[in-house]
């Protein structure tokens, strides 16, 4: 059975909008599909959820769905054609005007916090403006610093400025309801700024009678300042390097990425690295050496998953992108000393669950056991075991299909759906049957198993055993 620890998340789009192409990506290694809710009509967005559900795989093999809310992203909106800006040229940025020499933006946010000298970055920093004066709370006069062609729907950033915008827009609320009712397994919150953003999303979910995990996208300078509380509160984090590299000096991004990976991994929270993973392959069939090195370093640092965006959504070679990503992951993982990982992360064990999960990894290493089974109702046991990055493959067994899919983005975890188990004494035999049926282990081979008693109570990881398949 193939075992690749680092997970692959691919963004759906026009280049993979039919069942055949989407299924081909899954067969090449995609664990989760991202649906970008920033673009398209409600019907178009819904069609992508339907597409993933139509993939002809078993319930436990179906890829997870990450629904990515647009958030309070300011975009160019209503621009007729394009605008070619020259260095030094003056231009108006406004959310209440349109016309010649005006860049119209979508947000109704007031610009009273934007003072002369402030920078405005367009299209991930490809174009830069300097504010000359504030004409009104909704209109700014600017001078072009970095020239370029301005296009509709491109993002607009105000680095270092705390604009008074909500974490969820009216469109986000509509998209959230659509995503939840259409089968999303994860919700990604764009432009997360602080921990309380999580509670706002969670409250909205509760009102709609849903309870799925929420991923914070680290792409604002405020999020970097509040990183510890965000990691503690959210269910997972994503380093969204595009906007992050605009909001902060680009040279800080690699160190921020390493810090996020380290802190999230220590907390047992999945961490995904995104943006420009294989950007050159949007138009070329081969990656650059720098891209391959970037991917390998993210894997070595301990990222749970790598997410491609335009490479699969709009690129010419979506299947080749996944093929390259899989090969780099496999080659890099083969060189990792996993014993060092779990030894280093065994410090500061704060709970019984952490101690048991760490001990399970240690026992598997000491006995040279290659399979570590976690019986889980909530996914917490599997996530905590993955925290220690063991060499043994992690097999999560759960009665709930949604937990199986949620674990699809967690490092090293392969999930299977099993019948509900009421008696802890029945678990080892049931686990052994699944392992043998799936060809993971053979007769006389050992496996480590961990879980919680009483059975079915989330967060009660408290037992550890070693069994031999008879």
- pLDDT score of 148: 98
What is the distance between the alpha carbons of residues 418 and 184, in angstroms, rounded to a whole number?
A: 21
Q: Is-catalytic flag, 46?
A: no
Residue showing tokens 């700024």: 193
Tens-digit pLDDT profile for residues 42-92:
999 999 999 999 996 766 678 999 999 999 989 999 999 999 999 999 999
Q: What is the CATH number of domain 74-157?
A: 2.40.33.10
- Which of 45, 62, 202, 217 is flagged as catalytic? 217
Average pLDDT, the chain: 93
- Average pLDDT, integer, range 124-147: 96
Check pLDDT > 60 for residue 1.
no
Point out the catalytic residue in the list 192, 275, 414, 460. 275
Please say if 34 is a catalytic residue. Answer: yes
Instruction: Express each pLDDT in 393-430 by its tens digit.
Output: 999 999 999 999 999 999 999 999 998 877 777 888 88
Flag whether pLDDT at 277 surpasses 80: yes
Q: Indicate the SS3 state at residue 83.
A: strand
- Which residue ranges make up each domain of the chain? 7-71+167-334, 74-157, 339-468
The class (CATH top level) of 7-71+167-334 is alpha beta
Length of the chain: 470
Of all residues in the chain, the percent with pLDDT exceeding 90 is: 81
Is 228 in a helix, a strand, or coil? Answer: helix
Predicted confidence (pLDDT) at residue 235 exceeds the cutoff of 80? yes
CATH superfamily of 339-468: Pyruvate kinase, C-terminal domain (3.40.1380.20)
**Tens of pLDDT, residues 200-225:** 999 999 999 999 999 999 999 999 99
Q: Is the pLDDT of residue 338 over 70?
A: yes
Spot the catalytic one: 4, 46, 75, 446.
75
Model-level pTM greater than 0.85?
A: yes
Q: Does 283 have pLDDT greater than 80?
A: yes
Told to judge if 275 belongs to the known catalytic residues of this protein, a careful annotator would answer yes
pLDDT at 59: 64
Q: Residue holding tokens 């002809």?
A: 56
Asked if the model's pLDDT at residue 16 lies above 80, the reply is yes
In terms of phi and psi (left: phi > 0; alpha: psi -120 to 50; beta: otherwise), the region of 276 is left
- 272 within 8 A of 215, measured Cβ to Cβ: yes
Q: Within a 10 A sphere around the Cβ of 453, how many other Cβ atoms?
A: 12
Amino acid 116: pLDDT: 97
pLDDT in tens, 160-214: 998 888 999 999 999 999 999 999 999 999 999 999 999 999 999 999 999 999 9
């Amino acid at each position: 059975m193939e075992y690749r620890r680092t997970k692959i998340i691919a963004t759906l789009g026009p280049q993979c909008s039919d069942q055949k192409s989407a299924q081909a990506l899954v067969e090449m290694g995609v664990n989760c599909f991202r649906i970008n809710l920033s673009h398209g009509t409600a019907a178009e967005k819904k069609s992508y959820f339907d597409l993933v559900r139509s993939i002809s795989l078993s319930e436990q093999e179906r890829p997870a769905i990450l629904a990515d809310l647009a958030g309070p992203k300011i975009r160019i909106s209503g621009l007729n054609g394009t605008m070619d800006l020259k260095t030094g040229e003056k231009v108006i940025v406004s959310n209440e005007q349109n016309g010649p020499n005006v860049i119209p933006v979508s947000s109704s946010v007031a610009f009273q916090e934007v003072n002369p000298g402030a920078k405005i970055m367009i299209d991930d920093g490809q174009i830069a403006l300097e504010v000359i004066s504030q004409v009104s709370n909704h209109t700014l006069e600017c001078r072009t610093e970095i020239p370029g062609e301005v296009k509709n729907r491109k993002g607009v950033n105000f680095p270092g400025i705390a604009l008074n915008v909500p974490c969820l827009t009216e469109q986000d609320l509509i998209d959230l309801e659509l995503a939840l009712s259409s089968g999303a397994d994860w919700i990604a919150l764009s432009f997360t700024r602080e921990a309380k953003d999580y509670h706002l999303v969670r409250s909205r979910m509760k009102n709609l009678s849903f309870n799925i995990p929420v991923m914070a996208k680290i792409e604002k300078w405020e999020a970097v300042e509040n990183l510890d509380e965000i990691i503690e509160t959210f269910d997972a984090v994503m380093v969204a390097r595009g906007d992050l590299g605009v909001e902060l000096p680009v040279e800080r991004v690699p160190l921020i990425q390493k810090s996020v990976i380290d802190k999230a991994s220590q907390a047992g929270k999945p961490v995904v690295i995104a943006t420009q993973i294989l950007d050159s392959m949007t138009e070329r069939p081969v990656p650059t050496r720098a891209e391959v090195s970037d991917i390998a370093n993210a894997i070595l640092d301990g990222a749970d998953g790598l997410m491609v965006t335009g490479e699969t959504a709009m690129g010419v070679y979506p299947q080749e992108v996944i093929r390259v990503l899989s090969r780099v992951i496999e080659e890099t993982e083969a060189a990792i000393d996993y014993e060092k990982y779990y030894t280093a992360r065994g410090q500061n064990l704060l709970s019984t669950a952490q101690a048991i999960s760490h001990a399970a990894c240690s026992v598997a290493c000491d006995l040279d056991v290659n399979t570590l089974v976690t019986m889980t109702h909530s996914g917490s046991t599997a996530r905590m075991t993955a925290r220690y990055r063991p060499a043994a493959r992690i097999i999560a067994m759960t009665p709930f299909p949604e937990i199986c899919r949620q674990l699809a983005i967690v490092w090293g975890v392969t999930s299977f759906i099993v019948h509900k188990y009421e008696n802890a004494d029945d678990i080892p035999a049931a686990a052994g049957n699944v392992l043998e049926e799936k060809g993971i282990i053979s007769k006389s081979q050992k496996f480590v198993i961990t879980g919680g008693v009483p059975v079915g109570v989330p967060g009660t990881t408290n037992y550890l055993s070693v069994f031999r398949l008879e």
